[in-house]
Amino acid sequence: MTAIAGFRYSSGVVLCADSELNYGTVVKTHINKISVFGDTSQGVRGALTGSGDWDDVQRVVQDIQKHWIEILDGQVTFDEVVGKKVEELYEQSSQDPNWTLAVIAVVWTAGGKACVIKADDRKGVKMVSDFACDGMGAAFGHYLAGSLHFPNMAKYYGICLASYILYMADAYAPFCGGLGNIFTLDDDGSPFMELEWDMEAQREFFKRFTYAIRPILLEGPSSDVPPDAFDNTVEEFVAQLRKLRKDVELDMYEKAKKYGHLD
């Protein structure tokens, strides 16, 4: 499972993802789920992550690499390549009821601002002006979009919010965790920032500073969420994810029992 998000801050965009990769319910590993493309000198720079079938996420990455020269030459745009590949994969796999795929990317092109792109198996590709989230952390991400996120937040606060999303997903969503990978991309194409934050460190940080981070994130002029509304939002989210985790664990138990993996 994966927790991913991409959203705007005052001078650019941020992309984040956890690092846990699961094969079934037994094999677990950790990888950097954010793939980076280009640099400022080329006039195009971007990064992409995804949730769902990880092999298909990698197929999208490979397609961007395959068409990179065409993207640089302006023959095709980054979002067109992403959208076409996701649509192709959907056509190949849509008959499988368990198949799912969503990708979130950030991209900067010389002369323009950095933007967020989301493409999934049902809605195709679209530009996202403010916030996009998917995976097991999506429920909390969307709560935050309606309460804590505002597009004119400073870059530092954007990084804090990305870290907080990953922390909550790690703490309460099944099969999410590991390192928190965070990528920022400024509107002027200036050197990006890549961060890796161990979830244990995040966990200790946010345990101590949940109430400290709230006023930092809420100080933006377009956000007037009162403290009790924030607390209620978090409590509601936690209750939902605890139920989800319980349902998932029960489902895993029943399947293990059915196939003779339990005594």
- Average pLDDT of 35-51? 90
Would 56 be classed as within a structural domain?
yes
Return the minimum-mean-pLDDT range out of 101-110, 137-146, 151-160: 137-146
What is the spatial distance between Cα 138 and Cα 147, in angstroms, rounded to a whole number? 14
Give a three-class secondary structure readout of 181-208.
Answer: EEEEEECCCCCCEEEEEEHHHHHHHHHH
Amino acid letter, residue 107: V
Dist. CA 168–CA 178, nearest whole Å: 12
DSSP 26-74: TEEEE----EEEEEGGGTEEEEEEEEE-HHHHHHHHHHHHHTHHHHHTT
Name the nearest CA neighbour of 26 among 261, 257, 196, 260: 261
Q: Which domain holds residue 148?
A: 3-258
Q: What is the pLDDT of residues 197-206, one digit of tens each?
A: 666 666 666 6
Could you tell me if 38 and 44 are in contact, meaning their C-beta atoms sit under 8 angstroms apart?
Answer: yes
Number of domains making up the chain = 1
The domain spanning residue 99 has which CATH number? 3.60.20.10
Helix axes 199-217, 155-172, angle to 10 degrees: 130
pLDDT digit string (tens) for 99-141?
Answer: 888 899 999 998 889 999 998 866 666 767 688 888 766 666 7
pLDDT, one tens digit per residue, over 184-194 is: 999 988 767 77
Cβ(140)–Cβ(237) below 8 Å: yes
pLDDT averaged over every residue in the chain: 77
Q: Which residues contact 167 (CB under 8 A, 6 or more apart)?
A: 180, 199, 202, 203, 205, 206
Strand 27-30 to 20-23 pairing: antiparallel
Structural domain contains residue 263: no
| Nearest CA among 196, 190, 35 for reference residue 108 | 190
DSSP for residue 173 = S
